[in-house]
């Protein structure tokens, strides 16, 4: 994969955010990684806390050397690494270089990649006027805005620990259904397996009209959830 050093975006400066995600997702050198909600995410089984701490320490050293720092979640059985270029709010060549460095460290330590385990949960709220309710949810949750996005679009936990809350515009008030729903974003190569498991567990498919971007499912009582991927969310002319 070639990189344009002037913009630090993979495959040149003209690529949209979606095209970059598609390119990184297909990169054979990034087999440990998955694109999830505009970020590169990977997880490795470490077999213990000390081993995970060693891995984390070496990631920190590599990040300092590259001057590009990921989010690292150290747990007893595994370590999860997430990277995005925050200054441009998208994936760039910096994320690819960091991902390759982290994967090399993991390989040296003999860790087991488990990319099929990564996912991100969001909460969607159907509203008629996001401007009327967003300040309340921002205050009660202690959330903030994401980057340059308005608070009427999405609110996020400043510590990055809790699910984001986003507002979905309704055409007219609906009282016959729940107005909260969950969005679970999974690797694109896991989505259909997750869909089949949910249906086998008693769920029903509400809509696959937007697939492979998302599938809408419901439980036995009609509570809805969307299984989401990065795919199908952009074209060559849009971000």
Residues 64 and 24 in one domain: yes
Judged by average pLDDT, the poorest of 4-8, 66-70, 194-198 is 4-8
Is residue 234 included in any domain, yes or no? no
111-114 contact pairs (CB < 8 A, 24+): 111/44, 111/45, 111/46, 111/51, 111/55, 111/79, 112/44, 112/45, 113/31, 113/32, 113/42, 113/43, 113/44, 114/43, 114/44, 114/45, 114/78
The predicted-structure confidence for 161-205, as pLDDT tens digits, reads as follows: 999 999 988 888 776 666 889 999 999 999 999 999 999 999 999
> Residue 238: its pLDDT value, please?
39
**pLDDT at residue 63 is higher than 80:** yes
**pLDDT at residue 5 is higher than 60:** no
Report the pLDDT averaged over residues 119-130: 92
**pLDDT at residue 1 is higher than 80:** no
Residues 10 and 63 in one domain: yes
Residues 85 and 10 in one domain: yes
Instruction: Name the DSSP letter for residue 138.
Output: H
Q: How confident is the model at residue 76 (pLDDT cuts 50, 70, 90)?
A: very high
Is residue 11 included in any domain, yes or no? yes
| 16 compared with 173, residue with greater pLDDT | 16
Residues 57 and 124 in one domain: no
Report the pLDDT averaged over residues 128-144: 89
Domain endpoint, select from 66, 97, 117 = 117
Is residue 237 included in any domain, yes or no? no
Residues 69 and 153 in one domain: no
Distance CA 130, CA 186 (A): 27
Residues 57 and 133 in one domain: no
Q: What is the pTM of this model?
A: 0.85
Domain endpoint, select from 97, 117, 137 = 117
What percent of the chain shows pLDDT beyond 70? Answer: 90
User: What is the CATH classification number for the domain harbouring 193?
Assistant: 3.10.180.10
Number of folded domains in the chain?
2
Residues 93 and 8 in one domain: yes
Q: What range does the domain containing 189 cover?
A: 120-228
Residues 100 and 168 in one domain: no
């Amino acid at each position: 994969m070639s990189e344009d050093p002037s913009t630090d975006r993979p495959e040149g400066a003209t690529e949209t955010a979606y095209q970059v995600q598609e390119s990184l997702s297909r990169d054979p050198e990034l087999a440990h990684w998955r694109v999830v909600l505009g970020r590169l995410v990977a997880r490795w089984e470490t077999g213990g806390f000390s081993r995970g701490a060693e891995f984390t320490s070496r990631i920190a050293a590599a990040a300092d050397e590259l001057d590009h720092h990921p989010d690292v979640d150290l747990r007893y059985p595994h370590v999860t690494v997430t990277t995005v270029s925050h200054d441009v709010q998208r994936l760039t060549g910096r994320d690819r270089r960091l991902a390759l460095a982290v994967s090399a460290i993991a390989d040296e330590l003999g860790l087991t990649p488990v990319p099929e385990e990564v996912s991100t949960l969001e909460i969607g709220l159907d509203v008629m006027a996001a401007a009327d309710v967003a300040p309340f949810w921002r205050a009660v949750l202690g959330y903030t805005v994401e980057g340059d996005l308005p608070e009427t679009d999405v609110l996020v936990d400043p510590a990055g620990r809790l699910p984001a809350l986003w507002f979905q515009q309704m055409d007219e008030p609906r009282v016959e259904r729940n107005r909260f729903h969950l969005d679970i974003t999974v690797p694109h190569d896991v989505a259909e397996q997750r869909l089949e498991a949910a249906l086998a567990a008693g769920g029903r498919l509400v809509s696959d009209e937007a697939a492979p971007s998302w599938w809408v499912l419901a439980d036995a009582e009609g509570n809805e959830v969307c299984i989401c991927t990065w795919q199908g969310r952009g074209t060559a002319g849009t971000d």
